[in-house]
Amino acid sequence: MNDDISKRRLGRGLAALIGEMDQPIPVDEARAPVSPDRMTPIEFVSRNPRNPRRYFDETVLQELAGSIRQHGIVQPVVVRTVGTGRYEIIAGERRWRAAQLAGLVEIPVIIRDVDDRTALELAIVENVQRADLNPLEEAMGYDQLIEDHGYTQNDLGEIIGKSRSHVANSLRLLKLPEPVRDMLADGSLSAGHARALVSTSDPTALARQIVAKGMSVRDAERIAQNDIRGVTQGRQTVASQSKDSDTVALERSLTDRLGLDVTISHKGSGGQLRINYKTLEQLEEICRLLEAR
């Protein structure tokens, strides 16, 4: 499949390819249901192993199962054929899971002829657009599209209707250690909390402190900045021992003016000037200042 065609198609929105996919809701609140291609035994339908969504709230599933018992599945599950009489879910895994809890023998399906790549793209984009993913699942979905199919951050931003910086900040969450990612996945930490910890010396310890004390995102950013500043100052202290007083004074002056850590190292008649930024917004501000000159 041509890459540009695939991305343009996804960029137009999922409804053009796979129709409406809202979860079942009471009939008096529902929009006109989409007509299924057929009814199929529920045991002939399997989940998409590439679906980035891994967590399903059991309470929500039980509530949805109750709605299905009363009204049935209002919107069909979107699937693709993976064998004779067998189907794999593209969109609607929550409905499929709830239908099993409700004891349904068969479910309505819409069948779409798509390959592995497109099925993955649709699964990720559909979940992101519906805000069904937790921040870690969202980041893993973006990473999967980038690694497997060569998407750029700009491509993803255009497809899902998010900014490039949103995509970049999501991907940064994958740098966190496993214990912190677990807290993010189960909702103990928000994405804002987690992003603040990415560049700290001990994200796990700080994450546990944030959760134990019920800190706000602003509080988390404050203790993270203090941690990062302490590590940086320690490094600068060691480095400054071999620097002359004029160089140290210049570093401090530039650091104060930019609000970012600046280090200068001399090598012969030249050297290096290093500006350390912590967020993409800070990088964009540096670029803006340079372009304004």
pLDDT in tens, 82-114: 878 899 998 888 889 999 999 999 999 988 888
Three-class secondary structure of residue 219 per DSSP: helix
User: Are residues 9 and 152 located together in one domain of the fold?
Assistant: yes
Query: Maximum Cα–Cα distance for the chain, whole Å?
Result: 80
User: Could you tell me if 97 and 226 lie in one domain?
Assistant: no
Residues 67, 132: one domain?
yes
Give the domain-ending residue among 122, 141, 173.
Answer: 173
Taking only Cα atoms into account, the Rg of the chain, rounded to an integer number of angstroms, comes to 25
Residues 2 and 87 in one domain: yes
Which domain covers residue 198, as residue numbers?
A: 176-241
Residue 151, classified by CB atoms within 10 Å of its CB into exposed (0-12), middle (13-18) or buried (19+), is buried
Annotated catalytic residue 93: yes
Q: Buried (b) or exposed (e) across 78-113, using 16+ Cβ within 10 A? A: bbbeeeeeebbbbbbbbbbbbbbebebeebbbbbbe
Choose the final residue of a domain: 121, 145, 173: 173
- Verify that 235 and 262 share a domain, yes or no: no
Confidence of residue 230 (pLDDT cuts 50, 70, 90): low
d(CA 266, CA 69): 74
CATH of the domain at 220: 1.10.10.2830
pLDDT band at residue 73 using 50, 70 and 90 as cut-offs? confident
Same domain, 148 and 266: no
**pLDDT per position as a tens digit, 1-30:** 445 544 443 443 334 443 433 333 333 333
- Among residues of the chain, what percentage have pLDDT more than 90? 14
Structural domains of the chain, count: 3
Q: Which of 88, 93, 126, 138 does the annotation list as catalytic?
A: 93
Q: Is the same domain home to 48 and 150?
A: yes
Q: Which of 155, 173, 191 is the last residue of a domain?
A: 173
